[in-house]
Amino acid sequence: MKPFHHLLKIIPFLSVLFLVTGGTSLRLAAYPLLPALYLIPVYYWIVFRPEGLPLWSLFGMGLFYDGLMGNELGVSSVLLMLSGVVGPYVRPFLISYSFPLIWAAFGVYSFIFLFLYGLFLGGGGALLVSWFYGVVLYPPFAWILSHLSLRLRSYV
């Protein structure tokens, strides 16, 4: 039974890993879904279950993403770790609000993240379209992640 509990504790990390590896080739209208797509679970877990994504896992995920996408190593790690550091300060404001406000906060968070990402790595219009896709796809992914979080809370 203990291995099952340990597996449940890494579900937040696995959800981000799943979207990074699965989303590398996903495109809509010749625009990539990444990097905004993997920001959805990062944002969700940082706001609703921050212990699920410690800084070391964000660092490792950023390195993995940069290596997979052929970017300079460390850029995504620094930005994700910055998200993990700022998250606990923003969490008390968002945890008690309605879904539209949480969704709008994701739009702001992902825009700032992608703006900084674009400053360091370039990307221009593709990043803006990726941001739009991320904002549009946030509700269904948040619904799935909330069900995962409820399952996780009931077992752990």
Whether 74 maps to a domain, the answer reads yes
Neighbours of 4 (CB within 10 A): 10
| Position 124, amino acid | G
For residue 1, what pLDDT is reported? 54
In a 3-state reduction of DSSP, which class is residue 71?
Answer: coil
pTM for the full predicted model:
0.91
Higher pLDDT, 138 or 1: 138
Token reading at 112: 């700032």
For residue 156, what pLDDT is reported? 62
Which structural domain, as residue segments, surrounds residue 63? Answer: 2-148
The per-residue pLDDT for range 40-99, each reduced to its tens digit, is 999 999 998 888 899 999 999 999 999 988 888 999 999 999 999 998 898 888 888 899
Whether 55 maps to a domain, the answer reads yes
What's the CA gap between 26 and 9, in Å, rounded?
Answer: 28
Closest CA relative to residue 123, chosen from 68, 64, 70: 70
Whether 95 maps to a domain, the answer reads yes
The per-residue pLDDT for range 88-140, each reduced to its tens digit, is 898 888 888 899 999 999 999 999 999 999 999 887 888 898 899 899 999 99
For the chain, report the end-to-end CA distance as a whole number of angstroms: 11
For residue 10, what pLDDT is reported? 86
What are the backbone dihedrals phi and psi of residue 91, each rounded to the nearest 5 degrees, phi first? Answer: -55, -45
Position 144 confidence tier, pLDDT thresholds 50, 70, 90? very high
Whether 113 maps to a domain, the answer reads yes
Q: How many domains does the chain have?
A: 1
Which residues make beta-bridge pairs with 28? 31
Whether 78 maps to a domain, the answer reads yes
Whether 153 maps to a domain, the answer reads no
Whether 156 maps to a domain, the answer reads no
